Amino acid sequence: MDPRWVQALLVDAERIGRTSHHPDDVLEIIAEVLAWVDPVDAERLAPTITTPVHHSNALKKVAEALANVDPDDAERLAGTIARPHQQARTLAGIARALNERSTDQQQR
């Protein structure tokens, strides 16, 4: 699959989503998908989400996507999550991803 095509679809989805009745709902989903395509752009999108639960969820998903690529950045991003239970869940998810990666490397 062409990542440029995926990114173009997400740009359209963001533009349309911002005009919907529930933009933060849509933007959270876009941030989740974008996190796997372009984590930097997903991190740019997350702060524009104003509903606290959707904002926290988006940051969690971006941090978890970053965990395998840049664990330090993932941890930094998790630290910006305002909701303590979501921050704890995110840190646990990052730890799980790092453990799985370590286990995979040891098995090779």
What is the chain's pLDDT, residue by residue, as a tens digit (108 residues)?
687 888 889 889 999 999 999 999 999 999 998 888 888 889 899 999 999 999 999 999 999 988 888 999 999 999 999 999 999 999 999 999 888 887 877 887
Question: Would you state the pLDDT for residue 30?
Answer: 92
The CA-based angle 34-99-57, given to 5 degrees, is 35
Ramachandran region of residue 20, left (φ > 0), alpha (ψ -120 to 50) or beta? beta
Residue type, 95: A
| pLDDT, position 39 | 84
